Amino acid sequence: MTAPAQPTSPRRSDATRAAILRSARERFAADGYERATIRAIAADAQIDPSMVMRYYGSKEGLFAAAAEFDLRLPDLSAVPPEQLGETLVRHFLTRWEGDETLVALLRAASTNPGAAERMRGIFTDQLTAAVATFGTDPTTTARRAGLVASQILGLAYTRYVVRLPPMVDTTPQDLVSWVAPTLQRYLTGTPES
Amino acid sequence: MTAPAQPTSPRRSDATRAAILRSARERFAADGYERATIRAIAADAQIDPSMVMRYYGSKEGLFAAAAEFDLRLPDLSAVPPEQLGETLVRHFLTRWEGDETLVALLRAASTNPGAAERMRGIFTDQLTAAVATFGTDPTTTARRAGLVASQILGLAYTRYVVRLPPMVDTTPQDLVSWVAPTLQRYLTGTPES
DNA sequence: GTCTATAATTCGATAGAC
DNA sequence: GTCTATCGAATTATAGAC
């Protein structure tokens, strides 16, 4: 994959593929899966619509490529136990403030079954794995991860998708201080606490 | 509106209108705004597609009628202050377990600007008004309502839309005990608490 | 590799017979 | 009030010229 040993092939137009993916993420994030059209994506990337089909086969294939997403969760076992909540909120806010892929996935997962499946996979695999790295009762791991996902995705949904005014106007710092204790309890606490 | 003084008009086929609305809510809830077609809704209601247009004018008009939604929030000023969180979570869970209108709105708001506007209106007006009924600093009311909305909608999104396994499998009782303290703090607490 | 032309569907909406 | 027939527009996807 990353072995350009020959100076003869600087990849003719890999730039085109990258441009398509950028435009696709923008459109999918802004309009959702069905309203984002291949024609519009191609126009944004200033290429011909048929190129999209040639490179990615179908609209589903394009989405699958554009919605590849890694939460890039930090190693939670290296975090002081009482800072887990704060670490997580801060990570998520910075992670998706600069990358609209998650917003695209969030919007698409509302109506597209394949996107919903991918969303389940990401949060089930990546988040559950991260939660499992520090020592709580293994039988509660999945539930703790689910609760964290509910608050994290609710934050993203209200701030980036529906754009509720109070959630849009609040600074990342304030959001962190309000939401961190919630995640902290979901991760390490008990219901009644 | 509600003055059927004449026994002569039992409304010929108001039943048809009601059947259309029921099917519309089902389809909008299951498929979102753009995938839910007038043809499919009419088929579900076992009527002709043109009837939908005749009664509701357009697809947007149909959605507007089908997505009419009242959160039916209880009078929070009559609730013991320390039970506010629990009261709210329990209310929301029962409210939308038996009514798919909110799920329809949740899905549609992801891609349809009009539905998003309605969602903003519902949570800005109804929820903010309810939060304002008990005595906290008025300048924090909007933010508290926004935070509550983020957790409540995140709960609905993960449980009913994306259907994350741990969120689907958890009983309403357990969800209440986990989420109630979160809302309690958003409503009456401080960030650091 | 890039683009034109178009096939094949599908949808919202309209007109008009009965 | 209800239904048939259809229009016009938009979409994904394909075939093939250059």
- CA A160, B186, B88 angle in degrees (round to 5)? 95
Mean pLDDT of A44-67: 96
Tell me how far CA of residue A35 lies from CA of A107, B87, B88, B101, B137, in angstroms: 11, 38, 35, 22, 42
State yes or no: pLDDT of A3 exceeds 50: no
Q: What is the pTM of this model?
A: 0.93
Region for residue B97 given its phi and psi (left: phi exceeds 0; alpha: psi -120 to 50; beta: otherwise) = alpha
Q: Are A128 and A140 in contact (CB under 8 A)?
A: no
Closest residue by C-alpha to C1' distance, nucleotide D10? A37
Confidence (pLDDT) at B13: 75
Residue A75's pLDDT is 94
Chain B partners of A106 at a C-beta cutoff of 8 Å?
A: 110
Is there contact between A120 and strand D, defined as CB under 7 Å from any strand atom? no
A74 phi and psi, to 5 degrees? Answer: -70, 165
Give residue A12's pLDDT band: very low, low, confident or very high (50, 70, 90).
low
Residue A11: band (very low, low, confident or very high) from pLDDT cuts 50, 70, 90: low
Looking at the predicted structure, is the pLDDT value of residue A73 above 60?
yes
Residue nearest to nucleotide C10 (CA to C1'): B37
Q: How confident is the model at residue B12 (pLDDT cuts 50, 70, 90)?
A: low
Is B109 an interface residue toward A (CB < 8 Å)? Answer: yes
Asked if B186 lies within 8 A of A178 by C-beta distance, the reply is yes
Task: Kindly indicate the confidence band of residue A7, based on its pLDDT and cuts at 50, 70 and 90.
Answer: very low
What percent helix, strand, coil does chain A show, rounded to 5?
70, 0, 30
Q: Is B8's pLDDT higher than 80?
A: no
Looking at per-residue pLDDT, the higher value among A77 and B136 belongs to: A77
A107 vs B107: CB contact, 8 Å cut-off? no
Q: Kindly state the average pLDDT of the residues A118-139.
A: 91
CB-nearest partner of B153 from A32, A116, A157 = A157
Residue A99, pLDDT score: 93
pLDDT digits (tens, 9 = 90+) for B106-158: 999 999 999 999 999 999 899 999 999 987 789 999 999 999 999 999 999 99
Q: Supply A159's token pair.
A: 């701030």
- The alpha carbon of residue B113 is apart from the nearest alpha carbon of chain A, in Å, by 9
CB B87 within 8 A of CB B130: no
pLDDT in tens, A154-176: 999 999 999 999 999 999 999 99
Distance A7 CA to C18 C1' (A): 77
Level-2 CATH architecture, domain A14-66: Orthogonal Bundle (1.10)
What average pLDDT does chain B have?
A: 92
Q: How far is the first Cα of chain A from the last one, in angstroms, to the nearest whole number? A: 50
Q: Which CATH architecture is the domain A76-188 placed in?
A: Orthogonal Bundle (1.10)
pLDDT in tens, B82-116: 999 999 999 999 999 989 999 999 999 999 999 99
Q: Residue B189 above 60 pLDDT?
A: yes
3-state secondary structure of B178: helix
Q: Do B147 and A179 touch (CB under 8 A)?
A: yes
Can you give the pLDDT at residue A1?
44
Lowest mean pLDDT among A10-14, A37-41, A93-97: A10-14
- At B153, which amino acid appears? L
For residues A64 and A102, the answer to whether their CB atoms sit within 8 Å is: no
Predicted confidence at residue B3, as pLDDT, reads 46
pLDDT score of A130: 95
Quickly state the pLDDT bin for B160 (edges 50, 70, 90): very high
List CB contacts (< 8 A) between B192 and chain A.
177, 181
| pLDDT > 90? residue A192 | no
Residues in chain B within 8 Å Cβ distance of A138: none
Residue extents of the structural domains in chain A: 14-66, 76-188
Quick one: pLDDT band at residue A6, thresholds 50, 70, 90? very low
Mean pLDDT of all residues in A129-152: 93
Q: B33-58, pLDDT tens digit by residue?
A: 999 999 999 999 999 999 999 999 99
What pLDDT score was predicted for residue B62?
Answer: 97
Do B14-66 and B76-188 share a fold? no
Q: Å from B49 to nearest chain A CA?
A: 22
Q: Strand C: which of residues 137-176 in chain B lie with Cβ below 7 A?
A: none
Four-point Cα dihedral A130, A131, A134, A139, nearest 10? -130
Asked if the Cβ–Cβ distance from A31 to B111 is below 8 Å, we say yes
Over residues A69-86, mean pLDDT: 95
